[in-house]
Structure 1
Amino acid sequence: MSSPLLPRLARLAAVTAALALAAASVRAQTAPATPAAPAATAAENKAITLAAFEVSSDRDVGYTASSALAGGRIDSLLKETPSAISVLTAEFLADIAATTFGSAAEWAPNSIPVGDTATMGEYNVNIRGVGNSFPSRNYFRWYVSSDNYNTERLEFARGPNSILFGDGNPGGINTTFTKQALFVSRRSVQLRTESFGGYRASFDYNLPAGSRFAVRVNALTDRLKGWRDYDEPTRDSVHLAATFRVAKDSQLRAEYEQGKYRRFSFAQTFADQSSNWNRTTVYNGTTAPATAGTGVGRLNAGVADDYLVFDPNQAALGILNWRGFFQTTGTGLRILPDGRPQVARFPSIPNREFSLQPPDAHIDTTYHSWTFYAEHRFPAGIIAQLAFNHQDQSRLGKLRVWDQHRIDVNTVLPTGAPNPNFGKAFADVQPQLTLQENTLSDWRLSLAHKAQLRWVRQSFSLSAGVRHDEYSPVTWTAGRVNGTNVNSQAATNVIRIRQYWDAPRNPRIFDSLVSNGSDVRFIETNTSDEDQRLQYNQLASASAFFNGKLSVLLGYRYDIHDRKQQRRVAARPDGSSVLGATAGPGTLDLSHVKVGTSSAGLVWFPVPWLGAYANYSESFNAPGSGASKLDGSTIPPASNDGIDVGLKLEFFGGKLAGTLGYYKMKQIDRARTGDGMADINEIWNDLGRPQDTILAYRDLETYQGDGLELDVTANLTRSWRLMLNYSLPKTQQADIGPGLRAYVAQHLATWQAGAANPALPNAARIATNLGDINRIISGYTEGRTLNNTVEKIGNIYTTYSFREGRLKGLAVGGGANYRGRQVVGNRANQPFNYLYAKAYTLVSAHSSYDLRLGKFRTRLQLNVSNLLDEQDVVYTTFTSNAAAGGDVPNAFRYQTPRKYSLSATLNF
């Protein structure tokens, strides 16, 4: 529930003051203590590894990382890497108090997290404005939202770099690196609370057993609350890592993680379905009111259809049949925080925390993952690693969203009793459950050879792997199964749960249906099965000449991708799914593709502080599950290519490092939902040729992008660290809908003849359908900027730590996320006259204090996000509505309000 801000801040201030007084007391009574470092010392941080295939973070200093797995998954210096890679180090993640991957990704160059409003796929990030790629963890594909409790650092590789991740979108990929078992004792506990309420506790326990075996345990319980009403997410996870040094040249490592987290789905906005009502027309249960010009209409669309509703706040009545009763209508526009003064009687939202969602409208994710590594160094200097990763994830979501504002204009209930909710706003939703399950197994064999010759430092790597990925989504929808119509999903059998805007929320609304004579069940209404197998081989060479002044990277990868899938192609009499494929029920869609991709790049430092780089890279993107093309053929893999060129800067012995670069990329044969199916099928039926009707299909399109990127990190002094990035992305769409355009060209003469044939009773409708199809194709505008493209993206953060004097142990820092205007649409019939969401800036700050509390090295830290409490909404769509003023903003999202986070980290 909403609570006043001041009491929450008062409680937080009291806790902060108490801790500050305690810290001051300890400081006054004890000798100055050595500050507790936010990250481990180099010796502690260094994972004992024989392989060249694991990134080493022991050389990371402050916000600056020195290496990445960019050279064909070989640990390589970033200054010698021609591809665009940015790293968020452990120290930076600690300073911004990141908890989730999404909260950290806000600070990555040219990246926009999209998971904060996603129903599923909460781990997605849009890189360079051209869409999302699946993330990876330790370079294994990863379908889970990572948490910082077991994260060592985050890496963002931009561009279509196949020798890093193989299949993916051209924007790039993000990778989480997990904490490994170290050969040094290390223990820490962190406690955290926030101004929205709740708590979070985690611990990190690393224990070496002699010089050959080490184990590390990280665990988390998170009950931090969100800012909306009824937003109480949870997470419980544990991660185990072990290292066993078998012999001098052999090592085994293993990881295991299991966890469960809960997210809540919310209506970002609410739709007006009440402003048309004249405020006088009502229904008394006997005399039907006039509907013309009154703003009321029947609840049931079909005169003979039942309208079944369950109100959890009148549960004793069970499911009531509101057939023949009435509801209000409206503009369908989204309700803005400031309303719409141009529209009479337009409704308003109580407050921005308001939610109609019941407390059990959540998504539960359960996951398990285990990974094994066997590493060995051969006498010839070849290092080998055999790795295996297995994951399984299950997401169960209660996903329907109550997002309408209608008014109950019925003075009586269907029982004849007075209606206690007459005149109140409500929303009706048909409840639905969705289950998504993934099982993924990934084998990888890697060989590397590093040699230092007189004139060249040379690395070769050879990798081969097999990834098997199974995906099964199922949706169940509530319906009546004992009605006269056997189809549980027929309009007369739909079951709805009603939420009145002013009513309390039932904590278990999905489980509280009372039948009252109706046999209500959740019937499977949509499902599919997908099985993918990816085999790959890749070879990479990284050469550094003239003491690293010239670096050359070459790579080639060959992939074989097999997919078989089934999806809902028909319905049984009860509404449940019949599985099949393009050829009909019981069939399979099969695809088998072979793809070769390459990369080539170089870095040249003519002087120690300035270098130039150039890189060409390719990748491919296997199509997701779904329909085939309009001609029945399978969707091909999308092919990606791109170039990166620019300058590398390195001053003061690497204390200030960065890149300034230009990129250009393209994705060809990107899958998109096919258009015009309803019009095409209506034409064929009107021509008396129902055998020529089409199924749902997918079409293709091309995405293009280019832009400038600046990425700088610095440790300006021993006490001062800085990160800065700024991007100017541009995108375009091209070659849209070739399948539909070819199909229309093939049949256009036949359709035009039908439209001109006076003997056909529906000739006029054929002409209308043809007009609809032509409008669809004319809307395929070449060169239009992609929606959601942000004109400018900038991030800056800096921290200063006092290391002597009276302020010793204190650190202060701050920064900002800047987002320029975002394309969210265009004016009607003017594809290049764009409509924008306005720019905004979010400011963040933190202060920490390191001290000793007895035997504990302790850090107290206060973080403030959205420091200036930016409250302007971010519009995500526009629509045309004459009454509201023409092209007007419609859907939007709120900024997360100002939030205070207080944490205490104890190291012992």
Structure 2
Amino acid sequence: MTLKSPARRPQWWIVSPCLAVIAQLSLVAQSASVSSETDNSAVVELSEFVVTSDDDVGYAATSSLAGSRLKTDLKDIAAPISVFTKEFLDDIGATSVNAALEYALNTVTEYDVTGNGIVSNNYQTRMRGITGAGRSRNYMSTNLNIDFYNTERLDFSRGPNSVLFGIGSPAGIINSSTKFARLGGNLTTVQMRVGSYSDHRASIDINRSLTDSLAIRANLLWQDSEGYRDFEFQQKKGAALAGTWRPFEKTTIRIEGEVMDIEENRARPWTPFDGVIGWETAGRPGVNTATTWGGTASGTGSAITSGIVFMEDGLWAGQFVNQTGAQNFRWSNGATPNIPGLNTPPNVLDYSVVPRTSNIFGAGARSSSDSRAGGIYLEQKINEDLSFELAYATEYEERPVVAPMNFGSFRLRYDVNAYLPVFDAHGVQTGMQQNPNFGSPVMITNGGFGNNSHAWSSNYREELRATAAYHLDFRAMLDRESLLARVLGHHRLAALITEVGSERTAKNSRYVNIHETRANPNYFNNVNAIRWGNYYDPFAANPTDRGLHDPFGALESVGVQPLAHQPGRFVQASLENSNWTWSRNETLTTMFAMQNYFWEDRVVGLFGWRTDDQDLFDSTPNIEANTGAYRGFTRNGKLRDLTGDTFTRGVVVHVVPNLLSLYYNRANNFQDNGVAEVIGPIGNLTSIGNRSGEGEDMGVKLRFFDGKLSASLGWYETADTNQGSSIDGNFFTWSEGIWDALGTPVDLGGRDTRNLKSEGYEFELTANPTRQITLTFNAKDADTTVDNLFPWAQRYLDDNRAQWSANAGTPVATTTLPAGSTIGSSLAALDQLMAVITAPEGSAPFADRQRTANFFGRYAFDDDAVLPGFAVGFGLQYRGESLIAYRSQTDGAAVYSPDHLMANAMISYSRKLDYNRRLKLQLNIDNLFDLQDPQPVAGGEPTAAQLQTYQDLGLLYHGVVYTVQLPVPRRYSLTATLSF
């Protein structure tokens, strides 16, 4: 299968004239400079398109490309932009973008309450209370999780910014600048790091200037780290190569490429959910007897009701056992029914039952990333006023993810089978045997992606960009001191055309029985599903035995075996694809931006206009007729197109130059919600529509002591309209249960929408007041509100209410509702669910924090001070109260988690070993005060019938039951850096 689509290739006719013009102009530039062939380094032309860390001082950056696509002083940019310099990133000890976000203004890594995003996504970032902030690499979009071994700095643009992106989330975008080769110097940096939880990391950075006009740079990375939680690990191998060539005085070619391989097990940052309260409340009853299989008991449930179980140990070790009807493996249940508004039971926080480090999904829950990225940049400067850049970048990533169980199954459960059947070599039951594992913790999989345990995806992206920059200076044309010259000023103009093609191939798979004697020919019928499991001890001396084992080799090596409890049938386990999709987006962008400088640069205006024309293509899966297996796909023609104009308008007024400035900025954007359908039968083909955003900023900028201290205080409003949103899975389960009861089964799916608006204040300060001190501080106080919640789900209920109400007494069978449920009670449960999930209407969304603040400062001792060569740093991260629930059963009041403060520290020692070698040792301490209190992240108010149970167990917080996130305890890292 060829990854690249023949549907539409990059339009080289757009670029070919640019190449020809640049080639001709470079010859003109060459002939205009007699000395250029003999001494290319005699004049170093400053680039309009490049910002390097050389321009930064301490934690303070002076310029950015994020404002106008051209190198611009931050003081002249009206858009809300922040920069993390290389020196700051080094001091906080961060090694990736996700780690550095903890210090970013109004920006957080989003930990959804399911943990699915933690496992599946390279990143998920919330800026200004809005999800889906994008990432770029050298101002080319990226899906990669960037590591800092090859990173110079980070630029944050909060809110819509049509100069950088038209199609995207209104949250904003984070750009990482890679390390390019530098002319005119040789440098080698070797770095090694060891830290808590077996953290080992090494990197090397080598820059060599081969001639005055040619340089190369290589960066290598190796990392092998375990984590705080069981089974957690991350292994990285990375390599990057960059080159810079200046063949002529005004011509520069830069090239860079990077490969990265990552293997990891990402643990959810919480202990398992409770799956035993119901069973223990019922007195820990046993199921089955010495003569019968198929019993039930209060507080117990079926691990699976239909399919095949393969146990690695216990009485069924190494056998495939058919599960049918009441004869199945049973385990303990938590309290039922579910708590309104809470997808799961509360976490087990008794560390004598499961340790704080527990990760029961075990060794089999893992993911990897194999990525390649790179680009080439040709820059031609015609004269002092006119320059061009032609750039091409590409990126490819393969990402397999294994999730044996879904987030709701991350539960502590016990084997409640007092007796289990035993079978002979032919699968015939020979009797019942007392279960030696009765009451032991047990795991049996159900698939983390629906019923699928494996997900694989590949993402390919290529971007071709041509940019022209021109400086129109009326001061040079007129008498510089004349009134007319001051009025007309000077102007920096940028025009850009970009073509982007991105493709995604994705498939999901699961283990099924493919033997010819299987009960149903369709591989994905429930009777053919293979679920594997094992017993475990969360306190086991052997770490492997603390959770679900990695069964995949065993499943594929056992070969053909009889199916126990169904003699005559056999099992042949195979990992088969149950879904296989391909999609492609092609986007043609034209952009024009101008910065207008008037009245001796006292007034700086910004105008950006952008047109994006996007074509979307999809595919039809090739499904095997008898088995239902997906055997590839067929690319379709264009599904639909999307066109839009977006604008940025801003102004900075330097009321008192280099002291006091006022700014205003307004921008918008839009985004396609993909092929997402509205809530309803799968395949209803009704799109949820496009997402759009609006942003407005105004405020004041301050600069003191010749720029050694800079600060900004601003008000902002960012609106996100028609954001795609997932709904509680019980909505589908209960609705499907009603249709099943009516004898008209329906497979439901789709997404819903909501609107968000964030309004508030942001403050940022960066200072280098003395040679010894550098610091940064930021804070936000903002209100985020959500409205128009889940309109499609409500419409679906309203459309079907009459039919369902007319059959209110019909029994409904679903394990997520109490026994004896009817269509009427199920409809009431759906109405209650809607009341809970729409409770934030007009108020703050769940997990929103009104106030946050971050600080980090460093003091470096002078060479003649008491501690020459030493530096100390200290950081604080304040997180205000977070909304976790509304008391929907009683007074409707909002319930917030408590605020908390996280502290970090750094101490370093730097010493010059000889004339060109320097050694630096740095100790970083994260979570200095060892905050370990569970942090509530989601909650729900129990019904009156449930209340007493949770009161007795001490699991209430301000009247709600809650789930938590557990901070990683204090950890240390020691880094040694040798530079020469």
Coarse TM-score class (shorter-chain normalised): 0.7 to 0.9
Contact 2:84/2:154, CA 8 A, preserved across alignment: yes
Question: Is residue 627 of structure 1 aligned with residue 677 of structure 2?
Answer: yes
Which stretch shifts more, 624-633 or 168-177?
624-633
The offset of 1:546, in angstroms, is: 2.8
Q: Alignment partner for residue 640 of structure 2, among 591, 604, 616?
A: 591
**In structure 2, what is the Cα distance between the partners aligned to 1:753 and 1:336?**
39
Stretch of structure 1 that moved more, 769-778 or 832-841: 769-778
Quote the Cα distance in structure 1 between the aligned partners of 2:808 and 2:332.
Answer: 42
Counterparts in 2 of 1:593 and 1:873: CA distance versus 1, 3 Å? same
Matched letter for residue 896 of structure 1: V
Tell me the alpha carbon deviations over residues 677-712 of structure 1, each in whole angstroms, 9 at most, x when there is no partner: 67777888999999xx78633343221111110011
Aligned to 2:978: 906
Flag the 1:753–1:351 CA change in 2: closer, same or farther, 3 A.
closer
Instruction: Show the 5 A alignment for 1:550-699.
Output: 550-566=603-619, 574-576=627-629, 590-608=639-657, 609-627=659-677, 632-673=685-726, 696-699=749-752
Instruction: Give the Å deviation of 1:625.
Output: 4.3
The alpha-carbon deviation at position 837 of structure 1 amounts to: 2.1
| Amino acid paired to 2:921 | L
Conserved in 2, the CA contact under 8 Å of 1:623 and 1:637? Answer: yes
Q: CA deviation at 1:474?
A: 1.0
Flag the 1:61–1:757 CA change in 2: closer, same or farther, 3 A: closer
Residue 449 of structure 1, aligned match among 464, 470, 474: 470
In 2, Cα distance between equivalents of 1:49 and 1:890: 60
Find the counterpart in structure 2 of residue 172 from structure 1: 172
Tell me the CA shift for residue 228 of structure 1.
1.2
SS across alignment from 2:802? helix
Aligned partner of 1:884 in structure 2 is: 950
Is the contact made by 1:50 and 1:251 (CA closer than 8 Å) also made in structure 2? no
Give me the whole-angstrom Cα distance separating, in 2, the residues matched to 1:233 and 1:673: 29
- 1:177 deviation in Å? 0.7
Deviation, structure 1 residue 59? 2.1
Contact 1:71 1:542 in 2 (8 A): no
- Cα deviation code 1:370-419 (max 9, x no counterpart): 20111112248321111111110011111224722222233555435664
How far 1:464 moved relative to its partner? 0.8
Q: Aligned partners of 1:218 and 1:168: how far apart in 2?
A: 31
**1:499 corresponds to 2:499:** no
Amino acid of the structure 1 residue aligned with 2:204: F
1:873 paired with 2:939, answer no
Matched, 1:468 2:501: yes
Query: Per-residue deviation at 1:495?
Result: 1.9
Query: Cα offset for 1:276?
Result: 2.9
What's 2:255 paired with? 254
Judging changes above 3 Å, is the alpha-carbon distance between structure 1 residues 171 and 888 closer, same or farther for their aligned structure 2 residues? same
Question: Do the aligned partners of 1:181 and 1:241 also contact (CA within 8 Å) in 2?
Answer: yes
In the alignment, which residue of structure 1 is the partner of 2:386? Answer: 382
Conserved? CA contact 1:403–1:427, under 8 Å: no
Is residue 229–residue 357 contact of structure 2 (8 Å, CA) maintained in 1?
yes
AA paired with 1:903?
Answer: T
Assess, with a 3 A threshold, how the Cα gap between structure 1 residues 754 and 812 changes in structure 2: closer, same or farther.
closer
* Gap change, CA 1:61 and 1:490, over 3 Å in 2: same
1:39 alignment partner in structure 2: none
Per the alignment, do residues 777 and 254 of structure 1 end up closer, same or farther by CA in structure 2, a change over 3 Å counting? same
Aligned length: 841
Cα shift at 1:829: 5.1
Tell me which moved more, 423-432 or 167-176. 423-432
Which one of the candidate residues 481, 486, 504 is aligned to 2:514?
481
Counterparts of 1:113-192 in structure 2 under 5 Å?
Answer: 113-114=109-110, 118-183=118-183, 184-192=185-193
Tell me what 2:437 maps to: 421
Deviations 1:236-269 (A, max 9, x none): 0011111110211111111100010122132433
Match of 2:428 in 1: none
Amino acid at match of 2:880: G
Relative distance call for 1:219 and 1:134 in structure 2 (3 A) is same
Equivalent pair of 1:162/1:620 in contact (CA under 8 Å): no
Q: Which runs of 5+ in 2 are unaligned?
A: 1-42, 337-343, 423-431, 448-452, 481-485, 563-570, 813-820
CA distance in 2, matches of 1:101, 1:349: 36
Residue 825 of structure 1 is matched in structure 2 by 885
> Which structure 1 residue ranges, 5 or more long, are not aligned?
1-46, 340-346
Does residue 801 of structure 1 match 2:860? yes
Residue pair 1:335, 1:349 contacting (<8 A) in 2 also: no
**Compared with structure 1, are the counterparts of its residues 92 and 423 closer, same or farther at alpha carbon in structure 2 (3 Å cutoff)?**
same
Alignment correspondent of 2:19 = none
**Native 8 Å contact 1:372 1:387 kept in 2:** yes
- Paired with 2:737 and 2:622, the residues of 1 have a C-alpha distance of 19
Rounded Cα–Cα distance in structure 2 between residues aligned with 1:756 and 1:256: 65
CA contact (8 A) 2:258 2:374 kept: yes
Moved more, 81-90 or 874-883: 874-883
AA matched with 2:376: F
Query: By how many angstroms is 1:363 displaced?
Result: 0.5
TM-score, with normalisation over the residues of structure 1? 0.86
SS in 2 for 1:276: helix
1:41 is aligned to none
User: In 2, are the aligned partners of 1:51 and 1:385 still within 8 Å (CA)?
Assistant: no
Q: Which of 395, 400, 404 is equivalent to 2:411?
A: 404
Q: 2:193, 2:975 within 8 Å by CA — same for their partners in 1?
A: yes
Give the SS at the match of 2:164: helix
Residue 357 of structure 1 aligns to a residue whose secondary structure is coil
The superposition leaves residues 113-146 of structure 1 with CA deviations (integer Å, 9 ceiling, x where unpaired) of 1379511223222111111222111111111111
CA distance, structure 1, for counterparts of residue 921 and residue 464 of structure 2? 43
Separation of aligned partners in 2, 1:439 and 1:577: 22
Letter in 2 for 1:613: Y
Q: 1:356 to 1:736 in 2, by over 3 A?
A: closer
SS in 2 for 1:165: coil
Distance 1:111 1:476, change over 3 A: same
Residue range with higher mean Cα deviation, 478-487 or 706-715: 478-487
Separation in 2, partners of 1:863, 1:758: 63
Q: Does 1:710 align with 2:763?
A: yes
1:525–1:110 Cα change, 3 Å: same
CA distance in 2, matches of 1:853, 1:758: 84
Q: 1:739 to 1:878 in 2, by over 3 A?
A: closer
Tell me, in whole angstroms, the C-alpha distance in 2 between the residues paired with 1:146 and 1:299. Answer: 40
- Distance in 2, matches of 1:433 and 1:175, equals 31
What's the % identity of the aligned pairs? 28
Contact 2:950/2:961 (<8 A) preserved: no
Deviation at 1:732, TM superposition (A): 1.2
SS of residue matched to 1:718: coil
Query: Is the 2:124–2:131 Cα contact (8 Å) retained in structure 1?
Result: no
- Residue-by-residue CA offset, 1:172-209 (whole Å, 9 max, x unaligned): 11110111110111111001100211311000000011
Q: What's the counterpart of residue 245 of structure 2?
A: 244
Q: Which amino acid aligns with 1:425?
A: P
Superposition pairs for residues 50-449 of structure 1, below 5 Å? Answer: 51-114=47-110, 118-183=118-183, 184-267=185-268, 268-277=270-279, 278-288=283-293, 291-293=296-298, 295-301=299-305, 305-311=306-312, 317-321=318-322, 323-331=327-335, 334=345, 336=347, 338-339=349-350, 349-379=353-383, 381-401=385-405, 403-411=410-418, 414-415=421-422, 419-430=435-446, 432-449=453-470
State the one-letter code of the partner of 1:651: F
TM-fit CA distance, 1:840: 1.2
1:674–1:423 CA distance, 2 compared to 1 (3 A): closer
- The question of 1:519 aligning with 2:520 is answered no
Q: Per the alignment, do residues 336 and 281 of structure 1 end up closer, same or farther by CA in structure 2, a change over 3 Å counting?
A: same
Q: CA offsets, 1:38-76, max 9 Å, x none? A: xxxxxxxxx977641222432210000011113321111
- Given the superposition, is the C-alpha separation of residues 234 and 684 from structure 1 closer, same or farther in structure 2, using an over 3 Å criterion? closer
2:302–2:331 contact (8 Å) kept in structure 1: yes
- 2:918 counterpart residue number: 857
Aligned counterparts of 1:833 and 1:812: Cα–Cα separation in 2: 45
Maintained 8 Å contact 2:711/2:765 = yes
The residue number in structure 2 matching 1:18 is none
